[in-house]
Amino acid sequence: MRPSAPALIALLLALAASPLAAREGPAQAARVTVLSTMLADLTGIGEWGFAALVEVDGYRLLFDTGAREQTVLHNAEELGVDLSGVTDVVLSHNHRDHTGGLLTLRRALAAKNPLALSRAHVATGIFLPRSFVGPRDFNGNMRALRGEYEMTGGTIVEHAKPELLAPGVWLTGPVARRYPEHNWPKGSRIITADGTVEDNIPEDQSLVIELADQVLVVTGCAHAGIGNVLAQAREMVPGKPVRAVVGGLHLLDADDASLAWTAERMREAGVRQLLGAHCTGLEAVYRLRTLLGLDRSAAVVGAVGSSYSTSGGLDPLRLAR
């Protein structure tokens, strides 16, 4: 009897995992290319969302999937980025501006490769019911997304703690809230077994890439607070500075005192390069640049197609240079 498509994909995923993720140790080279954010340069479409292709020593993953269904697929095609060979996708948290493109991408790319985006990594708490006012659950779309994704043969991997995906490539899992940062939207409530409490996006997770002499952090919105994310990264990879941060930091509404505090945490971690995309905020990027004593080559606003690499540093493209 022939195995079903989901069973076949599960078997292929098991074979593809091999000992790759079991080997610890630093990576040699990394590159992050932004595929969804608000600012578009000469190529691509901007939107309120985030997605980035992460490449580390030949291992490739998609970090978040943008907001609108077609944006990342369209931008990847315009940029000449082939995502059909990418098996793993990370969803940083439940918000639609990071999950909206998942099904479209999975279905389109699976036509070329059944394993394309067939393994989705999430953190504990992403499927919990949520509400703004009253009992209505507005996170039902996330559970519906899970069902539709699994119907394509995709597998959800839920992380409750830091996990190694490939040599040097770590997921934080839910980030410990060491500092009282409040980097999440007000008014949302999360429904737990113990009752309804404020929704602080408990599943918010980031990517920590260990290199020979430094660490690279990739964030979706950093709802856990970039101070907390950096503290966890330094705990996960002790003794190495976090030299670069790429992604959304949710600082668009931060006041001067909050930005000064954030800059101090970034300085302590060793951050010397920042590509602030999505919800970081334009003014926040420029304020952090000044507070950290960086110049325009080392702290830039992220645009579609902009990138960071260990070999070439930041490439903001023309508009944000």
Instruction: Work out the widest C-alpha separation in the chain, in whole angstroms.
Output: 65
Please tell me the predicted confidence (pLDDT) of residue 36. Answer: 98
Question: E strands of 124-214, at which residues?
Answer: 130-131, 155-159, 163-166, 169-171, 189-192, 195-198, 207-210
297-321 burial by CB neighbour count: b if 16+ within 10 A, else e? ebbbbbbbbbbbbbeeebbbbeebe
- The three-state secondary structure class of 147 is helix
Q: What is the DSSP string of 254-280?
A: --HHHHHHHHHHHHHHT--EEEEEGGG
The predicted model scores a pTM of: 0.93
Q: 15: which residues sit within 8 A by CB, 6+ positions away?
A: none
Q: 255: which residues sit within 8 A by CB, 6+ positions away?
A: none
CA 189 to chain centre: 23
Sheet with 242-248: strands ordered across: 163-166, 169-171, 207-210, 215-219, 242-248, 273-277, 299-301
H/E run at residue 284: helix 282-291
Contact criterion met (CB below 8 Å) for 183 and 279: no
Q: What is the pLDDT along the chain (321 residues), one digit of tens a residue?
A: 445 656 556 655 654 553 345 457 899 999 999 999 999 988 999 999 999 999 999 999 999 999 999 999 999 999 999 999 999 999 999 999 999 999 999 999 999 999 999 999 999 999 998 876 555 555 568 999 999 999 999 999 999 999 999 999 999 999 999 999 999 988 888 988 888 899 999 999 999 999 999 999 999 999 999 999 999 999 999 999 999 999 999 999 999 999 999 999 999 999 999 999 999 999 999 999 999 999 999 999 999 999 999 999 999 999 888
β-bridge partners, 308: 32, 314
H/E run at residue 6: helix 5-17
- By DSSP bridging, strand 51-56 and strand 30-36 are antiparallel
Please tell me the predicted confidence (pLDDT) of residue 192. Answer: 82
Please tell me the predicted confidence (pLDDT) of residue 321. Answer: 84
Domains parsed from the chain with CATH numbers: 28-314 (3.60.15.10)
Q: What are phi and psi of 165, to 5 degrees?
A: -95, -35
Please tell me the predicted confidence (pLDDT) of residue 18. Answer: 39
